[in-house]
A = this chain, B = another copy of it.
Amino acid sequence: MATYFPEVSRIAYEGRKSENLLAFKYYNPNEIVLGKPMAEHLRFAVSYWHTFTLPGSDPFGLANMIRPWDGYTGMDLAKKRVEAAFEFFEKLGVEYFCFHDRDIAPEGDTLRESNRNLDEIVAMIKEYMKTTGVKLLWNTQNMFSNPRFAHGAATSPDADVFAYAAGQVKKSLEIALELGAENYVFWGGREGYETLLNTDMQLELDNQARLLQMAVDYADEIGFRGQFLIEPKPKEPTKHQYDFDAQSTIAFLLKYGLADRFKLNIEANHATLAGHTFQHELRVSRLHGMLGSVDANQGDPLLGWDTDEFPTNLYDTTLAMYEILKNGGLQPGGLNFDAKVRRASMTPIDLFYAHISGMDSFARGLKVAAKLLEDGVFENEIANRYESYSKGVGKEIVEGRATLKSLEDYVIDKRVTAARSGRQEVLLAKLNQYLLEVE
C-alpha cells in the first residue's frame, strides 16, 4: 500500500540518550506518572489545519510547503488529506485530532453544497476513526476566512452573515455528534472590531451571546453532550477580539448567563499576546473552574503576532502541566498542537520532527510537574507563606467575621511590617533543579 510518509515508521520511545531524530526521548506513552499512563495525562491532538492544509504563505510570501498531496484539488485533495492524516496520527501515536469544517472539505457555492462535501468526508473520517481508534478531541467552524466574514460572523453588521454563521455552526454540531467529538470549540476569528468609529459594540456582543445560546440549545436538542469551549485571543486578525483573555471571556460568559455551559480553551501564544504568561491564563481558568482544554504551542516573546510555534520551552510545559495536574487533568479536553512548522521547515518530515519536539517537551514537563507536586515544593512554600490566615485575625477575615472596625481595633497601635521574604529567587533555583534532575 502506498503511503504518504514513506520515510517514517511508527515513532517509538527510545529514551533520553537516543540520537534518533525520529524517536521520542521523553514521551513514553505507557509510563505511569502519578498513577496514570503518560498518554492519559497528555491527551495529545494534531490540529488538522496547520498540519494538513496550511500552505506556508505569510503576509509577504506565497505557499511553499512541499506535501505528498500536492497536485490534487477539490474533493480529491480532501480525501488524500484524510488518508495522509490518519497515517500521520498512527505513525506519531496520537489519539486525538481537531478540525474546522473548512479544513476537511472544500467550500461549495452554497451552504448546501458545502454541507454535501462535508457529509462525504465525514463519512470517510468516521470509517478511519473506527479502524484506527483515533478520536476527535474537538471540531469547530471556520467563520473567518471567507470574504463574507470580513466584518465578523456572529458580530457582523450584516444579519445574513450571522445567519450563514448559524448555519455553519448547526452543521458542525451535527458533525460533532456524528463523530463523537469530546468537545466543541468557538474561536471568534473575526469577532471583534477594526475601529470603534463604525462599531455598535453592544449589538455585536449581544449577537455573539445569541449565537452561543443557539448553539447550546441545538446541542441539547440533538443530544450532543461534548464540552463547549471558548478560545480567547486578544488581537489578530482584528484590532480587538472580544474574547481578549481568560478573565474577560469569563466576564462575557457571566454577563450573558453562559458560564455554566462553557469552559475555556487556553492557547499559550494567545496568552502572551494578551500580556499574560501561559501559566497565568491556565491558573485564572482553573480557579474559575473553567479550564477545559489547551492549545499547546508557544509564541515568540519579541514578536507581536501569533507565531503558533511548536512548544519546546520546558519552563512553559512544566508550569502548564503543573496547572493541569492541579486541575485534575483536562479530560474531556486535551493538548491540541495548534502549532505550525516554521515556513522555512517546508519538507514533510519536519511535521514529524515538530510534533515529536512538542510531545517530548510536554512529557518532560509532566514528569517535572508531577515531582514538584509530589514533593509539595510550591504547596509547602505557600502553606507556610499564608499561614496567618489559618488562625487568629486571619481566620476571622477568611471566615467573614471581621469588619473594618474589628480590624482597626486590632491594628490601631500595632507595628505591622513585612519582614518575610517572598523567596522568588529560591523558587526559581528549585524549579531549575527539578527541571534538570528529575529522573
Contact = CB atoms under 8 A, between A and B. Distances in A.
Interface in A380-414: 381-382, 385-386, 388-389, 392-394, 397-398, 400, 402-405, 407-408, 410-414
A161 B344 contact: no
A364 interface: yes
A338 to B, nearest CB: 13
A178 interface: no
Contacts of A56: 147, 150
A382 B200 contact: yes
A214 B404 contact: yes
Contacts of A428: 195, 197, 310, 312, 357
B62 A407 contact: no
A215 B408 CA distance: 12
A393 B389 CA distance: 56
A45 interface: no
Interface in A232-260: 234-237, 239-240, 244-245, 247-248, 250-252, 254-255
Given A59-B59, A247-B248, A415-B110, A426 B148 contact: no
Given A157-B388, A275-B275, A356 B196 contact: no
Given A61-B237, A304-B305, A344-B150, A109 B163 contact: no
Contact of A287 (B170, B201, B276, B415): B201
Contacts of A279: 196
Contacts of A151: 344, 418, 422
Given A60-B190, A162-B394, A163-B411, A382 B199 contact: yes
Given A251-B251, A394-B162, A356 B414 contact: no
Contacts of A131: none
A30 interface: no
B343 A150 contact: yes
Interface string A206-247: 110010001101100000000000000011110110001101
B346 A419 contact: yes
Contacts of A315: 313
Interface in A412-431: 412-429, 431
A360 B432 contact: yes
Contact of A344 (B280, B357, B361, B422): B422
Interface residues of A, number: 162
Contacts of A408: 111, 166-167, 170-171
A17 B167 contact: no
Interface string A253-278: 01100000000000000001111110
Contact of A418 (B148, B411, B415, B426): B148
B345 A422 contact: yes
Given A254-B251, A416-B163, A342 B385 contact: no
Given A276-B240, A394-B162, A425 B342 contact: yes
B411 A145 contact: no
Given A61-B150, A164-B407, 19 more contacts: A16-B433, A16-B436, A61-B149, A62-B146, A110-B413, A164-B416, A203-B386, A210-B400, A218-B403, A239-B303, A240-B280, A245-B248, A251-B251, A255-B288, A341-B425, A344-B424, A353-B425, A356-B429, A364-B432
27 contacts: A16-B437, A56-B150, A60-B144, A62-B147, A111-B412, A148-B417, A159-B389, A159-B392, A160-B411, A163-B397, A163-B407, A166-B411, A167-B408, A198-B382, A200-B385, A214-B404, A214-B407, A215-B404, A239-B300, A247-B251, A247-B252, A254-B255, A304-B304, A305-B305, A312-B425, A312-B432, A345-B425
